Structure 1
Amino acid sequence: MTPREISGGDPPTSSAALLRGRRVREALTGYGFVLPAVVLFALMGVYTVGYGLALSFARWNGFTPNWTWVGFGNYLDLLYRDPAHAPAVQSAAVHTLVVVIAVPLLTVAVGFPLAVALNRITFLRSAFRTVFFLPYVTTGIAVYYAWTYVLQPDGSLNYILKHLGLGTLSQPQGFLGNPTTALPTLIVVMSWGAIPVAMLLYLTGLQSIDSSIIDAARTDGAGNLRTATAIIWPLLRPITAAVVMLNMRDALQGFQIFLVMTFGGPGGHTNVLGLETYKLAFFSNLSPTLGLSSALGWMLFVAALLLAGINVRVLRRRT
């Protein structure tokens, strides 16, 4: 008899079979744990996105069993063809463009100096960080309502301005009721909630800069302003790109603050594309408009992709 026959089998082959069986069981176990999440994503993600894309090419009021296919008609109506919807969309696009430009600029203009100042503070640094970061963790519907009360005609802001001798700056109809001040006021409130994140990102970047670079610049005679603009700012350009991208995304697609504080008023002066999409879906008297709402949402999605691509391209070119 051969040694293999004496041993009663092929131990290497049996071990390999056992190993394969164990791997198969582990893989099946892993797939079993992942399957619920995949199903949920397929239902809530892929199906919803596909359904919304198909709806953007149809007319539907949300109740009838059948859709009316119109192809790119919804997109053309929103852009220029429909006199009932196109002017509102065009006006909202202008307001959205203003917000998309102003909010990132204001956030960077305030967040970067704050981060530089906090980076130099050694006494109560953690306390100051917490205070400046509070607007971000407290932003939400309740804070928007609080801001609404502050900005009313008899709100605290008008009260403070009058008692400081700055009554000419107060707004008798409220800062949100004046068409001239409504949109700038909302931009300030949006920036107020976005500045803490920008400040924290900048502060993280400042602490990662080699101190020898700063010391060399000061040895060469560079002052604080020159060091911040010629040394620190270029080194933090990737963080600036991230801050700008995040705020552009929020300004382009976010509409909660406009919904809660003004609902697009007064006279449509604070209406933005995100809010217009919401209005078309749930508050339009001209039915059916769900297809128009879906089409406008996809136009916003494409605009966000284009902005992201431009931001990445500019960042790669400068780094």
Structure 2
Amino acid sequence: MQSKRERKEKLIGYCFILPAVLYMLVFIGYPIVYNWLISFQDVTATTLASTARDLIGLDNYKNIKADPTFFKAVRQTFFYTVFCLVFQFSLGFLFALFFSRNFKLSKPIRGFIVISWMLPVTVTALVFKFMFAEGNGIINMILMNLHLISKPIGWLIQSGTAMWGLIIANSWVGIPFNMLLLTTGLNNISTEVYEAAAIDGAGSVQRFMKITLPLLKPTIMSVLVLGFVYTFKVFDLVYVMTGGGPVDATEVMSTYSYKLSFQLFHFGEGAAVANVLFVCLFLVALLYLKTISKDEVI
């Protein structure tokens, strides 16, 4: 039997978490459930406000499956995500190794680098859109002054280069995020471990491979999973810089869902695409939890 004091403390605890629970239910739980419901209904501009909607089962999923743009958007979403992660993590790791050393101006420089991550994504997208502009973009000006190109290139209006422009812009945003988390992980590794290894004759490469990477594995996993989630669901950067063009060359799942819902007014099909995106992220989260739990058991 719980005492009166214990019941009171438990009740107080429930009262503290109640606002967070209500917020999650209203602003996260309800939209997810509603989105799943309309993905099985025939919802268009004429039936959006109606309560009597036709239940069409999996027809919306069949329709997007028959649309080649959907598979193109899926491929490009994974392509964009993988290459962004490669650049963000690689450069972020190098910066983390560099700034984990104690030297003069280390913290101020690291603070300046973090500015790119703190800026709103829409601002970053506009800046890079102007930088990659064909007429007066600074990228073309620099390359032409270096005599690397003879005439301006339309980086964001050509199918072969538009996606790489997005990858560069997103990597510029994500590198500080990776650097911060990895720097924190490196600082949590005791220097005594490195000193003991050095006394035993381990070189710098051996210390990195046998000490740094194994002890940094939980941080690396967290960085990769968070980076995957943030990058995979990208919308604002793509929408502002290219809008999914040219000719669907940068169409990703989020922009494709938005286009179906708010430009073509096929809300059921747009919800179906959003649910596919949700399932992909959910599977990644499950894989991450399984990996972490396995490491904890070991």
Worse-superposed segment, 100-109 or 36-45: 36-45
- Work out whether 1:305 is the aligned partner of 2:282: yes
Q: 2:39 aligns with which of 42, 56, 68?
A: 56
The change in CA–CA distance for 1:208 and 1:275 in structure 2 (over 3 A counts) is: same
Query: How far 1:34 sits from its partner (Å)?
Result: 7.0
The answer as to 2:93 corresponding to 1:112 is yes
Query: Is 2:125 aligned against 1:148?
Result: no
Whether 1:167 and 2:158 are equivalent positions in the alignment is no
Letter of the 2:53 counterpart: W
> CA shift at 1:224, angstroms?
3.7
Give the match for residue 255 of structure 1: 235
The equivalent of 2:83 in structure 1 is 102
Deviations 1:63-88 (A, max 9, x none): 332312110111122123xxxxx111
TM-score using structure 2 length: 0.87
Q: CA deviation at 1:267?
A: 1.4
Distance 2:106 2:12 in 1: 51
Structure 1: 4+ residue segments shifted above 6 A:
33-37
Instruction: Give the AA of the match of 1:46.
Output: G
Q: Do the aligned partners of 1:58 and 1:68 also contact (CA within 8 Å) in 2?
A: yes
Alpha-carbon RMSD across the aligned residues, in angstroms, is 2.7
Distance between the aligned counterparts of 1:221 and 1:27, measured in 2?
A: 58
* Correspondence for 2:56: 70
1:215 is aligned, of 191, 195, 204, to 195
Where 2:100 maps in the other structure, the secondary structure is helix
- The structure whose Rg is larger is 1
Match of 1:89 among 50, 61, 70: 70
Q: 1:9-88 to 2 correspondence within 5 Å?
A: 23=8, 27=11, 31=15, 41-64=24-47, 65=50, 66-80=52-66, 86-88=67-69
TM-superposed CA distance for 1:300, in Å, is: 0.9
Distance 1:199 1:43, change over 3 A: closer
Aligned to 1:231: 211
Aligned to 1:9: none
Following the alignment from structure 2 to structure 1, what is the Cα–Cα distance between the partners of residues 251 and 201?
A: 50
Where do 5+ consecutive residues of structure 2 fail to align? none
Which of 229, 233, 245 is 2:225 aligned to?
245
Identity %: 28
Deviation string for 1:88-108 (max 9, x for gaps)?
101000101112211222111
